[in-house]
Amino acid sequence: MTSPLPAGHPPHDDEPKMGPTRVRDLVIIAAVVAVASWILVRYNYSDLPPLPLLAGIVLYVLAVLEVVIAFVVRSRVASRDIGAANGQLHPLTAARVLALAKASAILAAIAIGVWVGLLAFLLNQHDLAAADHDKPGAIIGLVGGVFLAVAALWLEYCCRAPDDPTSDHSPPA
């Protein structure tokens, strides 16, 4: 037998819910990956091939695509043009876009961690010519990871319903 909840407490819902991606979680992922990446690079750098200058360019491409998708989703959500009719944003498509945003945010955190770990190693190698060659590519990759993280979080924000109770515009409880 369960005990009644005190007044003002909602009943517990055992069904898992998907909430907004927390930046804190992304920072934790990036930090763990950065440490692992630094350790791997520290012990295996001499076995790695030279880093191409544009190794992180795919992160920029993904970020641009997500920004474009965010503008489309944002305009459809703002005009309440969501539904199954032709020309509307289908609810399943909106859910898929949200899943893309969440996955991209995690990918960005992993990429940031890899690039930070690599840069932490490279910036301490003052007498190694290969490290000087790899630094610009690692910086470009790190910036691309940050752009992708921002784009993914914004795309996720654009997927919110206008009357979403988790919105920043909700009255304080």
Write the CA distances from 15 to 94, 97, 102, 141, 160, integer angstroms: 21, 22, 19, 38, 20
Flag whether the pTM goes above 0.85. no
Q: Which tokens go with 168?
A: 């920043």
Provide the 3-class DSSP secondary structure of residue 169. coil
35's CB contacts (< 8 A; 6+ apart) are 117
| Residue 135 is assigned to a structural domain of this protein | yes
Mutual orientation of helices 57-78 and 91-122 as an angle, nearest 10°? 150
| Residue 85 is assigned to a structural domain of this protein | yes
| Residue 141 is assigned to a structural domain of this protein | yes
Counting the structural domains of the chain, the total is: 1
The model's confidence at residue 19, banded by pLDDT at 50, 70 and 90, is confident
Does residue 163 have a pLDDT over 70?
no
**Mean pLDDT throughout 139-155?**
95
pLDDT of res. 2: 52
Query: 10 Å Cβ neighbour count for 160?
Result: 16
| Residue 45 is assigned to a structural domain of this protein | no
Q: Is the four-CA dihedral 70, 136, 54, 26 of positive or negative sign?
A: negative
| Residue 117 is assigned to a structural domain of this protein | yes
Does residue 92 have a pLDDT over 50?
yes
Per-residue pLDDT reduced to its tens digit, 67-77:
999 998 888 87
| Residue 126 is assigned to a structural domain of this protein | yes
Amino acid at 110: I
DSSP 18: -
Is residue 102 a contact partner of residue 108, using CB atoms and an 8 Å limit? no
pLDDT of res. 25: 93
Structural domain of 75: 55-158
Q: Which tokens go with 113?
A: 């961690």
| Residue 137 is assigned to a structural domain of this protein | yes
DSSP 47: G
| Residue 8 is assigned to a structural domain of this protein | no
Average pLDDT value for the chain: 83
Q: Which tokens go with 24?
A: 């804190």
